[in-house]
Amino acid sequence: MSDVATDPQTSGDTGVVPDAPLLEVDDLYVEFHTRDGVAKVLNGVSYHVEAGETLAVLGESGSGKSVTAQAIMGILDVPPAVVTGGAIRYHGEDLLAVSDQRRSDVRAEGIAMIFQDALSALNPVFTVGFQIEEQLRVRLGLSRKEARKRAIALLDQVRIPNAARRVRQYPHEFSGGMRQRAMIAMSLALDPEVLIADEPTTALDVTVQAQIMDLLKEIQVERKMGLILITHDLAVVAEVADRIAVMYAGRIVEHSDAVSLYRKPGHPYTVGLMESMPRLDQKGTELRTIKGLPPSLLAIPSGCPFHPRCPMAVDKCVTDVPGDHRLGLGRTSKCHFAEELVGRV
């Protein structure tokens, strides 16, 4: 019997906590040190995702959605990026405190990511099959023959026709939708528990978008993965999300289950996003927009960062940073008028 004391809350040498959330981002701060100054890109971001659950992260470009995902994956460019606070826990293990090798292992086998631009993410000088097979050989020790067989099966799973032939083709020989499917196949190769999909339907036509989202949902249910869907497309979110985190200026300004948020948004920014969606019942009317532009992260406004664009802003919005107002079980909003918004008939 070993004389070494062990922590009953952890498992093995990995620091995994058995009853912890699958993935948890806790009060995360990230800065970019640039020639023009320090850009405060993430300012206390917190969210989590469980097995079999879909968390949608919404917000305009520059709100911090993709930077949060890159921080989770450990692929931020350092410098200029600096993580200045917080934790990223996978099964309770803080990935910001582990060795580079452990982080690499988790990135390879625990958490996978589908990037926005599949053409840029795929290496143009190698076949699609080679790029899937390489990680199978390196990580799982499969032979070339076994890896090729598995790659064909993965391409077939993501519904790429004639996978046995396509596996020998290069990315430029695939259509946009097929490249995105190939990226999904590559992400699933090592059977991850968490899949981060960063704008997976960008630049695809509506029909292909629907096919890609249906495919992701089907695979998620089959494998019981946690799915983090990063997007600005509210229509896509309405179809697939269990919970929604709305980001603005590097903060989560609203966090809610999907049904409650769509029924009664609890932050003026969320209201603005909802009202900017084209609707069939408003044909011929002017499309509503959120006035102004997102703030520079080099000079985030005082108080509530949304106040320069907010139709409800009053003096305290300029001076007082709103805390989390609880609007129900698991639902919060960083707005001084959150209760008033949700209580409106």
**CA–CA gap between residue 33 and residue 39 (Å, rounded):** 6
**CA–CA gap between residue 275 and residue 71 (Å, rounded):** 31
**CA–CA gap between residue 258 and residue 95 (Å, rounded):** 28
**CA–CA gap between residue 30 and residue 64 (Å, rounded):** 9
**CA–CA gap between residue 70 and residue 293 (Å, rounded):** 24
- The whole-number pLDDT of residue 2 equals 38
Calculate Rg over the CA atoms of the chain.
Answer: 22
**CA–CA gap between residue 186 and residue 209 (Å, rounded):** 19
Angle formed at CA 253 by CA 83 and CA 229, multiple of 5 degrees: 75
Decide: residue 41, CB within 10 A, 0-12 exposed, 13-18 middle, 19+ buried. Answer: buried
Secondary structure in 3-state letters for the chain = CCCCCCCCCCECCCCECCCCCCEEEEEEEEEEEECCEEEEEEEEEEEEECCCCEEEEECCCCCCHHHHHHHHHCCCCCCCEEEEEEEEEECCEECCCCCHHHHHHHHHHCEEEECCCHHHHCCCCCCHHHHHHHHHHHHHCCCHHHHHHHHHHHHHHCCCCCHHHHCCCCHHHCCHHHHHHHHHHHHHCCCCCEEEEECCCCCCCHHHHHHHHHHHHHHHHHHCCEEEEEECCHHHHHHHCCEEEEEECCEEEEEEEHHHHHHCCCCHHHHHHHHCCCCHHHCCCCCCCCCCCCCCCCCCCCCCCCHHHCCCCCHHHHHCCCCCEEEECCEEECCCCHHHHHHCC
166-199 b/e with 16+ CB inside 10 Å = b?
A: bbebbbeebeebbbbbbbbbbbbbeebbbbbbbb
- The whole-number pLDDT of residue 187 equals 92
The pTM of the full predicted model, rounded to 2 decimals, is 0.89
- The whole-number pLDDT of residue 204 equals 74
**Structural domains present in the chain:** 23-102+230-343 (3.40.50.300)
Nearest residue to 30 via CA among 83, 104, 69, 71: 83
Nearest residue to 328 via CA among 259, 281, 247: 259
Count CB neighbours of 232 within 10 A. 16
10-27 b/e with 16+ CB inside 10 Å = b?
A: beeebbbbeebbbbbbbe
Per-residue pLDDT of the chain (345 residues; tens, 9 = 90+): 333 334 444 445 556 666 788 999 999 999 999 999 999 999 999 999 999 999 999 999 899 999 999 999 999 998 899 999 999 999 999 999 999 999 999 988 899 999 877 777 899 999 999 999 999 999 999 999 999 999 999 999 999 999 999 999 999 999 888 998 999 999 999 999 999 999 887 767 788 888 888 888 888 988 899 999 998 888 888 888 999 999 999 999 999 999 999 999 999 999 999 988 776 666 667 778 899 999 999 999 999 999 999 999 999 999 999 999 999 888 999 999 999 998 864
- The whole-number pLDDT of residue 281 equals 66
- The whole-number pLDDT of residue 212 equals 86
- The whole-number pLDDT of residue 15 equals 66
- The whole-number pLDDT of residue 1 equals 37
